[in-house]
Chains A and B, each alone.
Chain A
Amino acid sequence: KAGVTQTPRYLIKTRGQQVTLSCSPISGHRSVSWYQQTPGQGLQFLFEYFSETQRNKGNFPGRFSGRQFSNSRSEMNVSTLELGDSALYLCASSLRIISGANVLTFGAGSRLTVL
């Protein structure tokens, strides 16, 4: 079956612009989580969506937002970009079975560079 697909893979933006990243989960997976990875901070949890509802949110400013569609595809948006937003943004999907283990399948990531 197809894996988790993230688009675009690479993008360059300038400060003040906004960006939208897309994630298509594995078929049947209803949970999509987003992480920001930077060399200094490791993987930081952004948010998780399950059945079109935000289930959890990490400690990021309101400039970071996301949504999930009825087909489980998810998008995240970062507005008013700052230099510090340069990072690898990783999306992961899972079945999120209640009372079961939540094993994540990651996409290859979207590498954002802010100039």
Chain B
Amino acid sequence: SQQGEEDPQALSIQEGENATMNCSYKTSINNLQWYRQNSGRGLVHLILIRSNEREKHSGRLRVTLDTSKKSSSLLITASRAADTASYFCATDGDNDMRFGAGTRLTVKP
């Protein structure tokens, strides 16, 4: 079964705009991670935020975590056509890593 749920399921924006994706989860976590998947390929790790952190930045990525609401958001600033991909949140608990269903982001040039 999946742990996280991303919202929205799909997002279409213009190049240069910001993209925000949300993730909600159900159980306690040690950390939460975001991955990107280009069409039909493997996932690539983007960023990790620990349960005791509230915000983290990496280049054009900004991740927030609210453990009281069991939710996280991923912000991609100044998006590019190359950012077109599916984005997944993954919760790392005491057992295994569970992924959400993903948000499909399309960035139009």
Interface residues of A (CB under 8 A from B): 4, 33, 35, 41-45, 48, 55-56, 58-59, 88, 90, 92, 101-109, 111
Contacts and interface: CB of A to CB of B under 8 A. Distances in A.
For chain A, what secondary structure do more than half of its interface residues adopt (helix, strand, loop), or is it mixed? Answer: strand
Interface of B: 1-2, 30-31, 33, 35, 40-45, 48, 50, 88, 90, 92, 95-102
A106 B43 contact: yes
Contacts, number: 65
Contact of A59 (B1, B42, B92, B102): B1
B96 A42 contact: no
A107 B37 CA distance: 11
Contacts of B99: 35, 42-43, 45
A111 B100 CA distance: 20
For chain B, what secondary structure do more than half of its interface residues adopt (helix, strand, loop), or is it mixed? Answer: strand
B97 A45 contact: yes
Given A42-B102, A101-B48, A101-B50, A90 B43 contact: yes
Contact of A43 (B2, B33, B44, B48): B2
B102 to A, nearest CB: 6
A78 B27 CA distance: 30
27 contacts: A35-B99, A41-B2, A42-B2, A42-B88, A42-B100, A43-B2, A43-B99, A43-B101, A45-B96, A45-B97, A45-B98, A56-B96, A90-B42, A92-B42, A101-B30, A101-B33, A102-B92, A103-B45, A104-B33, A104-B43, A104-B45, A106-B35, A106-B42, A106-B43, A107-B42, A108-B41, A108-B42
